[in-house]
Amino acid sequence: MTLHPLTPDPVAWDAFVAAHPRAHLLQLSAWGALKAAFGWTPARVALADDAGTLVAGAQMLLRPLPLRLGTLAYIPAGPLLDWADAAQARALFNALDAEARQRGAILLKIEPGLGLDDADFARCGLRPSPQTIQPPRTIVLDLDGDDEAILARMNQGTRRNIRKSARFEVAIRQGTRADIARFNALLAETGARDEFGVHAPDYYQRAYDLFAPAGRAALILGGYGGQDLAAVMVFRLGAWAWYFYGASSGRERQRMASYGVQWAGIQWARAGGARWYDLYGVPDADPQQLEAQFEARSDGLWGVYRFKRGWGGQVVRGAGAWDRVYRPASYAAYRLAVRLLRRAE
C-alpha cells in the first residue's frame, strides 16, 4: 500500500481523530484553534492510502522559543499511528519533518500519551526529552457500572464528601456561556490562594465556545445561597473524558462543593458514552512515593494529589516527552535553558 502525505481539512481530520483507537481531545482541530488564539500555530499532517482514507497523522503546534533559540514543533497526545508498523511510522515522521523544518523548527517534541509501553520511540529517531508540557502521570477512573459501582471504587472519605455536598444543599448546575465570568472569578481566587498559574480569562471563554456547543465540554458549577463555591470544566471524546480545569472558593468549604461538581462531571462524562475519566495530572512519582509523601507536600501537583487519589482511579504514566532534533547546536542551547530554568524554580 502506498501512503500519500497531505494536509487534511478540519472536518476530515476530526473524523479521523474521533474514529482512531487513540482518539484524544488535544488532537482535534478545535484544540488547534484554541492554541492558535494564544500564541501557537497549528499544522496538520496526515497520510492517506490509495483510496484517500486517512490512516495516520498528527496535529502539530508551533511557537517561537524564548531567547531566540528557534521554533518548537510540538505534538500533544500524538501522533496517531500504528507504532508497530515501521513503514507507516517512517512515512509519517518524514512528512512531519518536512513540515516542521519548513516552519523553522529546531526540534519536534511529542507527548504520545498513555498505553504505549511497547512502542520503540528510539527507532523513530526520538530521544527522551528534558522537558514535558503535559503531566506525564495521571489518575484514570473506570466508569464501568452504575453510580453505586463507581462510588464503591472510591475511598470512604470521598464518598462521604460527595454525599455531604448533597446533604448540605449545594446546588449543582450545568453552566452556560454567560457563566464563564463566574468560573474565571473562582479560578482567580483559587490561583491566588493555592499559588498556581491560570490562563487568561479569554482562554476559558474560547475553550467553552469551541467545545461546549459540540457536546464535548461542560461547565459545571456548585453554589449555595447565591454564592459560587466550586466549578469544573470537563471534556469528552469517544470513550474518554478529561478533567482539565477546576476551581473552588474558600467560603463554605464544609459543604464540600468541590466533590459535588466533580461527581457531576463524572456523571456527565458517563452519560455521553465515556468509559474512562482522566483526572489529568498528579506528581510524576511512583505510587509508593505518592502515598508516602502526599500528606507532607503541597508543591506543584502535590497539592491536588490528596483530592484526586480518593476517587478510586489507577495511577498511570504515559510515555513522557520525546524529541526529534533538527538543529543540534540550537537543541543543546535549548537543553541548557531548560536546566537553568529548573534551577531557578
pLDDT digits (tens, 9 = 90+) for 317-339: 999 999 999 999 999 999 998 88
Check residues 287 and 79 and name the one with the higher pLDDT: 79
Residue 175, CA distances (Å) to 95, 178, 228, 243 in order:
42, 8, 11, 16
If 0-12 CB within 10 Å is exposed, 13-18 middle and 19+ buried, where does residue 71 land? buried
Q: What is the pLDDT of residue 345?
A: 60
Domains 4-133+319-344 and 137-317 share a fold: yes
- DSSP state letters, 113-130: -SS-TT--TGGGT-EE-S
Share of the chain above pLDDT 90, in %: 84
Domain ranges of the chain: 4-133+319-344, 137-317
Q: Which of 35-44, 51-60, 302-311 is the least confident region?
A: 302-311
Integer Cα distance of 101 and 177 in angstroms: 39
Express each pLDDT in 235-268 by its tens digit.
999 999 999 999 999 999 999 999 999 999 999 9
Q: What is the pLDDT of residue 212?
A: 98
Those residues whose C-beta lies under 8 Å from the C-beta of residue 225, and which sit 6 or more positions away, are 252
Check residues 228 and 345 and name the one with the higher pLDDT: 228
Integer Cα distance of 58 and 74 in angstroms: 10
Tell whether domain 4-133+319-344 is in CATH 3.40.50.300: no
pLDDT over 90 (residue 344) = no
**Residues 280 and 135 sit within 8 Å (Cβ to Cβ):** yes
pLDDT over 80 (residue 154) = yes
Q: What is the mean pLDDT of the chain?
A: 94
pLDDT over 90 (residue 67) = no
pLDDT band per the 50, 70, 90 thresholds, residue 43: very high
C-alpha cell at 41: 500555530
Q: What is the pLDDT of residue 210?
A: 98
Residue 84, CA distances (Å) to 81, 88, 302 in order:
9, 9, 35
pLDDT band per the 50, 70, 90 thresholds, residue 315: very high
Q: What is the pLDDT of residue 45?
A: 98
Q: What is the pLDDT of residue 26?
A: 98
Q: Which of 31-35, 216-220, 234-238, 299-303 is the least confident region?
A: 299-303
C-alpha cell at 17: 481523530
Query: At CA 247, angle to CA 244 and CA 252, rounded to 5?
Result: 150
pTM (predicted TM-score): 0.94
Q: Which of 20-24, 64-68, 242-246 is the least confident region?
A: 64-68
At residue 302, the 3 state secondary structure works out as helix
Express each pLDDT in 252-310 by its tens digit.
999 999 999 999 999 999 999 999 999 999 988 998 998 888 888 888 788 888 999 99
Residue 166, CA distances (Å) to 64, 160, 256 in order:
48, 10, 9
Tell whether domain 137-317 is in CATH 3.40.630.30: yes
Check residues 194 and 215 and name the one with the higher pLDDT: 215
C-alpha cell at 43: 499544522
Integer Cα distance of 323 and 233 in angstroms: 31
pLDDT over 70 (residue 3) = yes
Integer Cα distance of 190 and 232 in angstroms: 12
Share of the chain above pLDDT 70, in %: 99
Q: What is the pLDDT of residue 195?
A: 67
If 0-12 CB within 10 Å is exposed, 13-18 middle and 19+ buried, where does residue 323 land? buried
Q: What is the pLDDT of residue 98?
A: 97
Express each pLDDT in 127-139 by its tens digit.
999 899 999 999 9
